[in-house]
Structure 1
Amino acid sequence: MIGIHDVGGYHMGPIETRDDLVFHEWWEGLVFSLVLVSAVQGTWSLAEFRHIIEQMPPAEYLRSSYYVHWLEAVEELCVRDGFVSREELTARRQAIYNGETPATMPAQVDAEAAQNLREGIQNLAHTGLGVRRPDQPRLFHAGDRVRARVLAVPGHTRLPRYVWGQPGVVVSYSGTYPLPDTEASGGDNPEPTYMVRFAGADLWGPGTETNVSVVLSLFESYMDLDPDAVAVGQKAVSQ
């Protein structure tokens, strides 16, 4: 979807980084852990998680930090999956605002549950919340010249706006995975994926630094064979 979240590739000024810190606030680590645990225990996909963040009001999205976005999404999904109610979240938030000491949960020891959770989180590191599917017949192959589609869809998509309509070259096939566009609404539509290289000059103009390129992982429905390249090839054959 077109939204304030899709700013990749745009000139937004310098990015301030701090290499010495993984988390800048103590609660960010808790949110990170909560997302991992709920992803293993819940029913949601990464596409659903991202799409909730994309639907945040633009002003709220801009004034809140990265892990606030995560918290917004995981709260919504935990309510949906029945782990907590909206009323419980509201009551706990109000208690914190009032300076009340939150009640602590009783300690529980369940070795089997802990091991299952540990294995589930380890699997997330390998799958990225997406499971590779059996290979399908493919439209593209390494070396094909393609052009990214202009995909102004109302829902979720992983095709960044800055490559819309731009030419690229297929580098390799990456496997078949669920299409995020349909997975975000609970559907399932596996598609081949490809690594595609885009020249910096095509994306940002002739003033781009020499030999700059960007390689993106794109789903098959995000692109077509480049009509200009096809026309040139047909002309060469006819001659």
Structure 2
Amino acid sequence: MSRVHDMGGRFGDGPIPIAGTDEPVFETEWHARALAVTLAAGALGKWNIDISRHARECLSPKDYCRFTYYEKWMGGLADLLVDGGVVTREELAGAAPQPAPKELQERKLSASRVATVLAAGGPANRDGAAPKFAIGDKVRTRRIARNVMLDGGHTRLPAYAAGVEGEIILSHGCHVLPDAAAHRLGEQPEPLYTVVFDAGDLWGEPERAGDEVTCDLWQSYLEPVT
């Protein structure tokens, strides 16, 4: 995470509305279409999930704050489509579309394949180095939540958890490192852990004493507490 959307722990943004269990899956019909278009475009193979997350992060702060959830998806997708050479800005603005290259036509996600593709998902576990930490180890997160490979780059270390001590409670093996994959620097897989933090250490004043927060964090985000 980076930029304006890394909002965890902030005050003053108002309450978060919680939908009831009887709420529809999609609030409006176009939300379902936005999800479908995003999945279909992703099947073209021009980007990965980390690149798409970073595209949403790179929306201007003004747009990010005023856009709804699926508007953020559409804003990021528009940039991905142009950057990937799938469409032009002119086509997005309403110009007559040009025929898609044969390569993209062959990758189109047909309706008959949707269920199979969604069931398969996109596993990010990989072979790699043995974990440096074990369950029960005390660790401290990197003091500043930033991508150390690229200034302003994507990272999955949230600002509210930076520089805080926690404990390893799960070890997940090696997974693709988002900080690298979001910028086409290769997968560079690293051990991934679930780290538990005392909510008071993160927020100062937790809702209830003893509350905990867990984060899935890559090995390079962590250092041992001695």
Give the TM-score range, shorter chain: 0.7 to 0.9
Distance in 1, Cα, partners of 2:51 & 2:112: 26
Amino acid aligned to 1:142: I
Distance 2:159 2:40 in 1: 32
Distance 1:207 1:79, change over 3 A: closer
Question: TM-score scaled by structure 2?
Answer: 0.83
Maintained 8 Å contact 1:42/1:78:
no
Partner of 1:201: 200
Instruction: State the alpha-carbon separation in 1 of the partners of residues 68 and 115 from structure 2.
Output: 28
Cα deviation for residue 151 of structure 1 reads 2.7
The 10-residue stretch of structure 1 (13-22 or 185-194) with the greater mean CA deviation from structure 2: 13-22
Compare the two structures and name the one with the higher helix fraction: 1
Using the TM superposition, give the Cα deviation of residue 118 of structure 1 relative to its aligned residue in structure 2, in angstroms: 3.6
* 2:16 paired with 1:15: yes
The correspondence of residues 1-239 of structure 1 with structure 2, limited to 5 A, is 2-11=2-11, 12-19=13-20, 20-91=23-94, 113-124=110-121, 127=122, 130-149=123-142, 150-153=144-147, 154-188=152-186, 189-205=188-204, 208-226=207-225, 230=226
Q: How many Å separate the matches in 2 of 1:183 and 1:172? A: 23
* 1:114 CA drift (Å): 4.0
* C-alpha distance in 2 between matches for 1:64 and 1:145: 39
Q: Give the 4+ runs in structure 1 shifted more than 4 A.
A: none
Query: Structure 1: which 5+ runs fail to align?
Result: 96-111, 231-239
Residues 105-142 of structure 1 show CA distances to partners (whole Å, capped at 9, x for unaligned) of xxxxxxx9544444222222xx3xx4310142111110
CA displacement, residues 188-235 of structure 1 (integer Å, 9 cap, x when unaligned): 211110010000111122555112001111000111112xxx1xxxxx
CA displacement 1:81-128 (0-9 Å, x = unmatched): 343222111016xx9xxxxxxxxxxxxxxxx9544444222222xx3x
Residues 131 and 173 of structure 2 are in contact (CA less than 8 Å); yes or no, is this contact kept in structure 1?
no
Q: What is the alpha-carbon distance in structure 1 between the residues aligned to residue 128 and residue 112 of structure 2?
A: 32
- Highest CA radius of gyration, 1 or 2? 1
Shift of 1:73: 1.4
Indicate how the Cα distance of structure 1 residues 47 and 207 shifts in structure 2: closer, same or farther if over 3 A, else same: closer
Structure 1 residues 159 and 40 mapped into 2: Cα distance closer, same or farther (>3 Å)?
same
**Percent of aligned pairs with the same amino acid:** 33
Say if 1:43 and 1:118 are closer, same or farther in 2 by CA, change over 3 A: farther
Is residue 42–residue 81 contact of structure 1 (8 Å, CA) maintained in 2? Answer: no
Quote the Cα distance in structure 1 between the aligned partners of 2:34 and 2:88.
18
> Structure 1 CA distance, aligned partners of 2:183 and 2:128?
23
Secondary structure at the counterpart of residue 8 of structure 1: coil
Q: Within 2, Cα distance between the matches of 1:143 and 1:194?
A: 11
